[in-house]
Amino acid sequence: MRKRSAAVLESLHVHIDPDARIGTLSVADKQMVEIAKAISRDARVLIMDEPTAVLSVGETETLFEQIRRLTARGVAVIFISHKLDEIMALAQRVTVLRDGQLIATVSTEALTPDSIAQMMVGRELSNLYPPKHEPDVDAPVVLSVRGLAAAGISDISFDLRKGEILGFAGLIGSGRTAVAEAIVGLSGKTAGEVDFEGRPADFSHVGKSVDAGVAYMTKDRKGRGLLLNVGLQPNLTLLTLKKHIKGIFLDGKSEEQALERATRRFDIRARDASVRVGQLSGGNQQKLMLGKTMESEPDIIIMDEPTRGIDVGTKQQIYHIVAALAAEGKSIILISSEMQEVIGLSHRVLVMRNGRLAGTLEGGEIVEAEIMRYAAGIKQDGDDERISA
């Protein structure tokens, strides 16, 4: 069995020890094991639901090779994905579903990513990303991180200005989440200082950063963000329950009003308020989590993969919300593995590699090739100076 596992993993070009415990693997490796499991069963029909959501570009390519090999052998594959370029690259026919309804099944040659998106949203999807405001270079620095180190990251220094959207790019596992969690006090930091609004901040417990106005929205909405087996209201107010206390008792009415406001503001669609959150679509869960985070009325919002595994329409909504928050004067750190998203939204982009900051990009430099160069280690901050010297 060990040999067979090794062989299947080998055929996928993944280097995972068959004896390793699943818990010790990275999310991407877990996904590859899951895929290897499906392939090892010699299935004739294979249904893959968002298999690439957590895979890097290289891993996705490996997966595609496997899928093409399988289809060549006569295996039928249903490939469910939000990533339109993947669909275009892989599928012969495309079926679009929207709100539980079959919209159309069309052969891929007749489609463009735009036309698929249009079918998915049901309206013209003209501007996925809102127009970028010119960043205000004179805006005060609201968050200043100096020499931050924690498990897996070291020597992280950067400033965040008021009203700025600061992108954090990098490969999966490059330490972006660790930086965010160390800043807000979810994990212990081993070195470095965090200054908030010009004063040293004591964010030793996440409650303190929330109270100060710094909120972190996790990328793991099912494991860390939301309670899947309860309704919308307890989820929305869990972070800020203190606001809904009258005397010593919870004020149900005030919680209800909060939910009403949030569903309107973030367009959360649920059949009724008693629906368990686990039954909502990924997009609605994500919007609920955004609502939960915004309940704390933060001045700085750290969003970790805010559009992972959600449909284009919701993505567009979230992008516009992010831009609107920045325009209101909120500062946003946007951690994302979707290059287009980082490029489309950020005023400035920091690229991480192996737990360190590899480079900073501004204005016209924010392009995919440049980000990849830093993320893959082809280029390092300081290279330019050396060349010019």
Partner 1 sequence: MSVSAHEAEKPGKRFRLDLKTAGPLLALILLVILGYSLNPLFLGEGNVTNILTRSAFIGIIAVGATFVITAGGIDLSVGSMAAFIAGVMIIIMNSAIDTMGASIWTVLLGIGSSLILGVGAGYINGFLTTKGKIEAFIVTLGTMGIYRSLVTYFADGGTLSLNNAAREIYRPVYYDSFLRIPYPVWVFIGVAIIGWVLMNRTAFGRYCMAIGSNENVARYSAIKVDRVKTWTYIIQGLCVSLATIIYVPRLGSASAATGVLWELEAIAAVIIGGTMLKGGFGRVGGTVIGALILTAIGNILNLTEIISNYLNGAVQGVIIVAAVYLQRGTFRAGRKRKAAE
- Residues at the contact surface with partner 1, assessed by CB under 8 A: 186, 205-207, 210, 216, 218, 220, 223-230, 234, 238-239, 241-242, 245, 248-250, 271, 274-275, 279, 292
What are the C-alpha distances in Å from 60 to residues 5, 68, 231? 20, 12, 35
* Of the candidates 261, 331, 251, the residue with the CA atom closest to the CA atom of residue 295: 261
Q: Are the CB atoms for 155 and 358 separated by under 8 Å?
A: no
Compare residues 7 and 245 and give the one whose CB is closer to partner 1: 245
Q: Answer for the pair 167, 350: CB distance below 8 angstroms, yes or no.
A: yes
Write down the least CB distance from residue 264 to partner 1, Å.
22
| Nearest residue (CB) to partner 1, 128 versus 228 | 228
In the bound state with partner 1, the residue whose beta carbon lies nearer, of 52 and 240, is 240
Token pair in block for residue 274: 């008693």
Q: Provide the pairing of β-strand 356-362 with 93-98.
A: unpaired
Neighbours of 98 (CB within 10 A): 14
Minimum distance, C-beta of residue 29 to partner 1, in the bound complex (Å): 20
**Sign of dihedral through CA atoms 246, 250, 254, 258?**
positive
Q: State the amino acid at position 113 in one-letter form.
A: P
Q: Which residues, 6+ apart, have CB-to-CB distance to 293 below 8 Å?
A: 215, 216, 217, 239, 301, 303
State which residue, 60 or 235, has the beta carbon closest to partner 1.
235
- What is the nearest approach in angstroms of partner 1 to the Cβ of residue 333? 16
Name the DSSP letter for residue 356: E
Backbone angles phi and psi of 194, in degrees to 5: -120, 120
The minimum distance between CB 180 and partner 1, in angstroms, equals: 11
Q: Which is nearer to partner 1, 27 or 186 (CB)?
A: 186
- Which of 184, 345 has the CB closer to partner 1? 184
In angstroms, give the least distance from the CB of 274 to partner 1: 7
State the minimum distance, in angstroms, from the CB of residue 243 to partner 1.
10
Residue with tokens 């964010």: 203
Task: Provide the minimum distance between the beta carbon of 342 and partner 1 in the complex, in angstroms, as a whole number.
Answer: 23
- Closer to partner 1 by Cβ: residue 247 or 364: 247
